[in-house]
Amino acid sequence: MRQLALAFAAVVAVVATLTPVSAQRGRGPARGPAGPLPMLWDGHPDLTGIWTGIGFSGRAPEILPWAAKIIADRAAKQGAEDFEARCLPGGPPRMAPYHTALFATPKEVVVLFEGNTHMYRQLFLDGSDHPKNLKPTFYGDSRAHWEGDWLVVDTIGFYEKSWYDFAGTPHTKDMHLVEKFHRVDYGNLEEEVTIDDPGVFPKPWTQRKNIALDPAFEMTEYVCNENNQDPAHLDALLKDSPTPAPKTLAKSGGVPALQPRKPPTPPSGTTPRTHDGKVSFEGVWVPTTTKLPGEPSYQAWAKTLYEERKANKQKDDPERYCLPNGAVRVNPLPYKILQRPDTLLMMWEGNTHSYRRFFLDGRKPNLDIEPESWTGQATGHWDGDTLTVETVGFNDKTWLDSTGKPHSDQMHLTERYRRPDLGHMNVELTIDDPKALTKPYTFTRTFTLAPGWELQEYVCQAILDGVYDQ
């Protein structure tokens, strides 16, 4: 009897260990490493980290008949119409495949996706409300605020046709998401999402989960459309279905060239500083001038390749096929920088609607994990008020500019960022690439601040596939 009681006590003890208070709220006891809760410099919990598993794909307890029929139809086609297989965003609350990170600052938290699209989602935390007359987007418009230790994110303005879960549950343009995030300690995050969409569900419903900090070294640059052979197989299976096959621009020269918007006059003022006294590069920036000192001094093979691209009238421009412009070439649409003491995040609106991170935490590039990528691996350090960023680990597929200047996979890029005043950012770029260049190539680029501007969602693949036209 005593043995039984001991055994029972042991079982209770084990169960208690497996079910900490934090795990009782969510669905499962995901347990990340313990440790003190990191705090942001404004006194709120710092949500930054790799939190693979953010998002949901659960089934609602109740669903209206028309929506249930759509799910059944899509299931009968085995999900062959799923946007995700076509390198289009899943959109919240769907869990993105591979790794997902949060990048937190006091005024904005960004969700960074490794896949399915290597894009970002901005959660504005500046007290602003949803803009009026929202244009529907894959990721919606997200405004966040703190309720105690919980970050509460309110999202509306969804593009109706996206697949926000694996089952293909439809949604209406009136879908309203409330996501809540609570970092419990160093290694554990609680997430809760409530979906309210009266056109689909009789009543709002809520999903909860616990997410452990992911020990992944970092997120790689996942370029979904680089070698996506799936649509051809999927379309073959859908040929008898009433769903129209994607109209493709791929054979007619790709997406239209990106057109600049006229930026506002940059404000005057002194160089802003961060809470810890560094130059702040934060803001929405428009590239204005790039001063080139003539043509790069190319090795023979690179010169031949460059001449071929020019003779071809840039017919194979990666940008027109939604492939990344890399770290050197800019597009005319705005860029945005958010800054933490350990990392700068640079996001861009156009081209791949993606991001670079400049790690200032002393790490080295991990070329074992990711020997090459389109935008490389960037690490930085401060030289007084200049931020110096070194980037390596490139492939040789990007163009240095729209004319098709080539480079090799040995390229070493050095960027020196300066902000001489409030309204301007100057970058001096040096390309050291002995395999392609006989000597390093240095030039400067100027950005002007665009107050009041924000990055708009641009999903190149959706334009290339004619998704919006269907």
Partner 1 sequence: MRVNVIIGLAIVGLVVAAAPVRAHHSFAAEYDANKPVTITGAVTKLEWMNPHARFYVDVTETDGKVTHWNFELGAIPVLVKQGWRRDSLKIGDVVTVEGSRAKDGSTTANARSVKLADGRRVFAGSSGGDAPPVQ
Q: Which residue has the tokens 């926000």?
A: 164
Report yes or no: 460 and 138 within 8 Å, Cβ to Cβ.
no
User: Is the link from the previous residue into 116 a cis peptide, with omega within 30 of 0?
Assistant: yes
Give the interface segment with partner 1, choosing from 137-145, 215-223, 266-274, 453-461 (CB under 8 A): 215-223
Cβ distance to partner 1 smaller for residue 154 or 230: 230
Residue 111 sits at the vertex; the CA angle it makes with 90 and 462, to the nearest 5 degrees, is: 35
Report yes or no: 111 and 123 within 8 Å, Cβ to Cβ.
yes
Least spacing, CB of residue 371 vs partner 1, in Å = 6
Report residue 163 as tokens: 């697949």
Q: Does residue number 459 form part of the binding site for partner 1 (CB under 8 A)?
A: no
Q: What are phi and psi of 425, to 5 degrees?
A: -135, 130
In sequence order, the β-bridge partners of residue 110 are 103, 122
Least spacing, CB of residue 401 vs partner 1, in Å = 24
- Residues 234, 465, 171, 241, CA torsion sign: negative
Q: Does residue number 115 form part of the binding site for partner 1 (CB under 8 A)?
A: yes
Q: Does residue number 250 form part of the binding site for partner 1 (CB under 8 A)?
A: no
Report yes or no: 219 and 112 within 8 Å, Cβ to Cβ.
yes
Least spacing, CB of residue 370 vs partner 1, in Å = 8
Q: How many CB atoms lie within 10 A of CB 127?
A: 9
CA distance 76 to 70: 10
By rule CB under 8 A, what string of x and - marks binding of each residue 421-450 to partner 1?
Answer: ------------------------------
The residue from 98, 205, 321, 453 that contacts partner 1 (CB under 8 A) is: 98
CA distance 114 to 55: 14
Cβ distance to partner 1 smaller for residue 116 or 379: 116
CA distance 322 to 254: 8
Q: Does residue number 408 form part of the binding site for partner 1 (CB under 8 A)?
A: no
Give the interface segment with partner 1, choosing from 111-119, 242-250, 319-327, 412-420 (CB under 8 A): 111-119
Cβ distance to partner 1 smaller for residue 280 or 410: 410
Residue 175 sits at the vertex; the CA angle it makes with 169 and 181, to the nearest 5 degrees, is: 95
Rg value, the chain, Cα? 24
Cβ distance to partner 1 smaller for residue 85 or 422: 85
Q: Does residue number 139 form part of the binding site for partner 1 (CB under 8 A)?
A: no
Q: Which residue has the tokens 């919006």?
A: 468
Cβ distance to partner 1 smaller for residue 50 or 425: 50
Positions in 323-342 near partner 1 (CB under 8 A): none
Give the interface segment with partner 1, choosing from 104-112, 221-229, 317-325, 441-449 (CB under 8 A): 221-229
Q: What are phi and psi of 70, to 5 degrees?
A: -65, -40
By rule CB under 8 A, what string of x and - marks binding of each residue 47-86 to partner 1?
Answer: --------xxxx------------------xxxx-x-xx-
Cβ distance to partner 1 smaller for residue 138 or 306: 138
- List residues binding partner 1 (CB under 8 A): 55-58, 77-80, 82, 84-85, 87, 95, 97-99, 114-116, 166-167, 216, 219-220, 222-224, 226-230, 233-234, 236-237, 368-371
